Amino acid sequence: MSPYEIDTESFSPSMTRRRFLRLAGCACLAGVGAQYAAVVAPSRIVVNSTVVPVAGLPHSLEGLRVGVMSDFHVGDYVSADFVSTAVEIMNSLHPDMVVLPGDFFQDRPEQAEACADALSDLIANLGVFACPGNHDHHLDLRKTSVPLARAGVDLLVNESRSIAYGAATLRLVGLDSATEGLADHSRALRSVPEDEMAFVLVHEPDYADFLAQTSGHTLPLQISGHSHGGQVRLPLLGAPILPSLAHHYPRGLRRVEGTERQVFTSTGVGVSVPVRLNCPPEVAVLTLHRTPAA
């Protein structure tokens, strides 16, 4: 195993995520909450507004608003019209920039085109940026990257962008899918000074643990998707099953143990199977807040 590969097997549950979610869907359909879990919940988008404290954040980045939407999965269960609804909600929140951490379609190129068309209506003064998810490699990645580029979405594949805001510059580092073994943060960070304020965009949230062990850069915030929050969350138990590389940071803002790094994981817009329970689709806005440097 190379130093930039992750052993995804150690994260794999005994029951596959897809099998569990299908069983959960059947249980919901057989139970009292069937109509809500299978029909209403997957279509009721909530807004997640989160303040993110960042030590040493440049003063001019104070209050910067970062919109986050992930895991659209346009296909049999998620329509492009539903993505358009999410886009309308995001635009109403007036983010300065928008990031999209992967999984735009389910399994066919026309779905990628439809998703990109819906995303073309996003409005953000500093731009719209994305990274690939594992589903985006089900076909040649160009089937995703080309329509996204036409839609004005900048897809970052193991590379970075400098974003000027006021008197400061924020570096956004976008990685390829870790599930597919393609994330290469060494390549992406090659031209990034270690003392430069840089955030990471990568589909799989648990890649943060690997970054904390191998990267000398500070990287105070990682933004991810992939987990869907589990789609099904049970009282007291949380999500009974999660995909590989989404066990440690399944949703919301969490700190990487032993570090000042934080991971924000979106519960996603779409679904891989048509059921959600106690875990609605979301449109998120992160507001950066400066705290004193350690």
What does pTM read for this prediction?
0.87
Range of the domain at 65: 8-291
Domain count, the chain: 1
Confidence at residue 195, expressed as pLDDT on a 0 to 100 scale: 83
Q: Is the pLDDT of residue 34 over 50?
A: no
Give the pLDDT of residue 31. Answer: 47
Query: Is 148 a member of any domain?
Result: yes
Residue 1 inside a domain? The answer is no
Domain contains 97: yes
Residues 229, 225: Cα–Cα separation, whole Å: 9
What would you measure as the largest C-alpha separation in the chain, in angstroms?
57
> Per the domain annotation, does 2 fall within a domain?
no
Alpha-carbon distance values, 168 to 52, 59, 64, 164 (Å): 18, 8, 11, 6
Strand partners, 99: 68, 129
Three-state secondary-structure class, residue 66: strand
Segment 216-236 mean pLDDT: 94
pLDDT category at 166 given cuts 50, 70, 90 is: confident
CATH of the domain at 213: 3.60.21.10
